[in-house]
Structure 1
Amino acid sequence: MNATALIRNNDLIENPVPRCACVLVLDTSGSMDGEPIAQLNEGVRTFIEATKRDETARYSVEVSVITFGGRVKDISPMTPVHLIEQIDHLHADGSTPMGEAVELALRRLEERKAEYKRSGTSYYQPWLVIMSDGTPTDSWQIAAQQSSSAEQQGRLVVMPIGVGGGADLATLSAFSGKRGAKALGGLKFNDFFLWLSASMSRVSASTPGEKVVLPASNGWDAI
């Protein structure tokens, strides 16, 4: 077991609160270069900082970042927010292997849920956030079926977000079993990630299994 995994597992013992795992699967392909990737980086920082300010969410919410730009990168392992010092700066380059990225995210979530069960830690439905400005360049259908089925079975919350006019909302929608993809209004990454942090705060203040009413998304979506 490496040092990071040891710290994460010790935290399950030292802070025995229910956990909400959230994986950010982020498009960093070449088309995101320039202002989009700059705003995405700022949005991720905003999300971590805002969640840290919530005294409950900072210990309950765990975040992992996986990017897909040219190749899939496991940028940050699943880590409780209060232990995250920084997320590596994201760079835009290459193609859009979304299917592979989602498959990795689903594996990471299952691995973390197994750790919760071994330690006797209760947990909320994990969240899978997928953000993309284009169309997958790899085989994505199996990953979409897996994530969609998991959401239909109540094992996962999937939030597909399309960025810009070139986003393939139909394909993104296939990854969710309960909701269609939402289009980000302009480059409102900060507004989206503030909404996500507020959603995590509501979830972490609830009882696992309890229905949670999420904040309105009209501050950032394009509809």
Structure 2
Amino acid sequence: MSQIIPDVALIDNSEERAPLVLVLDCSGSMNDENKIGLMNDGLKTLSQELKDDPITARCGRILVIAFGGDNNVEIMGEWTDAMDFTPPNLYAGGLTPIGAAMRLALDEIETQKNEMRNAGVPYKRPILMLLSDGEPTDDWQGIAAACKNAENAHKVNIMSIGIGASANKDILGQFSNKGALSLDGLKFKELFVWLSRSIQAVSRAQTGTTVQLNPVDSWAQIST
């Protein structure tokens, strides 16, 4: 029986964490309009913004899951504190297995919670952000229901965001009780700046309090 090696970061830094999982579309269509390149640039912006804030650098905890490409669904590195986060360089190709990616994300969140509890590290409710420019090419209905159930049980806060006109907002919206939002054009940088501010707010909030996040109009397509 293999022994799980404890995360040194959780031993060295016992501050309350604000976990974030990014589930990112790397299917072939993300090559269109250089969406994959702009998303990579956005991840670099997110990394720098989080590191520039000393509290968030210690409290933010990040995992990136990519779907598409040659490996179908892949964890891009391990859970990492924001101060140590190195953005992956993502490449586009393949199909859109959103169901498998979201199932992996929920599993990873629960595993990370257990690891933090075992290390005596408190944590805020994790944020799970799904970004996709299409619709699932695998079985997704069951995991979509599981995502909503996890939200109802206050296990996770899920944001589902469609990229471009080809994104199926009706399906993407079924992964969250809040439905889906649409990215305004290709405002990846604005989205990730907003996300960094949200993690900063969550990091500073007292345990058990509800955090009021900033308006999304800097990056979301607002219907009139």
Asked if TM exceeds 0.5, the reply is yes
How far did residue 209 of structure 1 move? 1.7
Distance in 1 (alpha carbons) for counterparts of 2:106 and 2:88: 21
Task: Provide the residue aligned with 1:101 in structure 2.
Answer: 101
Q: Within 2, Cα distance between the matches of 1:113 and 1:125?
A: 10
In structure 1, how many angstroms separate the alpha carbons of the residues matched to 2:144 and 2:46?
25
Task: Tell me which residue corresponds to 2:197.
Answer: 198
Alpha-carbon distance in structure 2 between the residues aligned to 1:176 and 1:218: 19
Alignment of 1:31-70 (within 5 A): 31-34=29-32, 35-70=34-69
Q: SS in structure 1 opposite 2:122? A: coil
Matched ranges for 1:6-45 at <5 A: 6=6, 9-34=7-32, 35-45=34-44
Distance 1:78 1:174 in 2: 26
Alpha carbon RMSD of aligned pairs, Å? 1.5
* 1:142-193 Cα distance to aligned partner (Å, 9 max, x none): 211111111112111101000000101111111112x111000000000000
In 1, Cα distance between the equivalents of 2:20 and 2:207? 15
Listed as ranges, the matches of 1:204-219 within 5 Å are: 204-219=203-218
Secondary structure, counterpart of 2:77 in structure 1: strand
Supply the AA of the counterpart residue of 1:175: F
Q: Is the 8 A contact 1:192 1:220 kept in 2?
A: yes
2:205 maps to amino acid: S
* 2:180 corresponds to: 181
Offset at residue 2 of structure 1 (A): 9.6
Residue aligning to 1:145: 145
Instruction: Deviation per CA, 1:180-218: give whole Å up to 9, x if none.
Output: 110000000000000000000000001122111101110
Residue identity matched to 2:96: T
**Residue ranges of structure 2 left out of the alignment (5+ in a row):** none
CA distance in 2, matches of 1:45, 1:77: 17
Equivalent in the alignment of 1:122: 122
Cα distance, 1:110 vs. partner? Answer: 0.5
CA distance in 1, matches of 2:218, 2:84: 29
Amino acid at match of 1:106: L
State percent identity of aligned pairs: 37
Q: Distance in 1 between matches of 2:36 and 2:111?
A: 29
Q: CA deviation at 1:131?
A: 0.3
- The aligned amino acid for 1:36 is K
Consecutive unaligned residues of structure 1, counting only runs of 5 or more, are none
**4+ runs of 1 displaced by more than 3 Å?**
none
1:64 counterpart SS class: strand
How many equivalent pairs are there? 218
Q: 1:130 to 1:2 in 2, by over 3 A?
A: farther
User: What do the CA deviations read for 1:51-81 (whole angstroms, capped 9, x no partner)?
Assistant: 1111111111111110111411111221111
Partner amino acid, structure 2, of 1:109? I
Residue identity in the other structure for 1:81: A
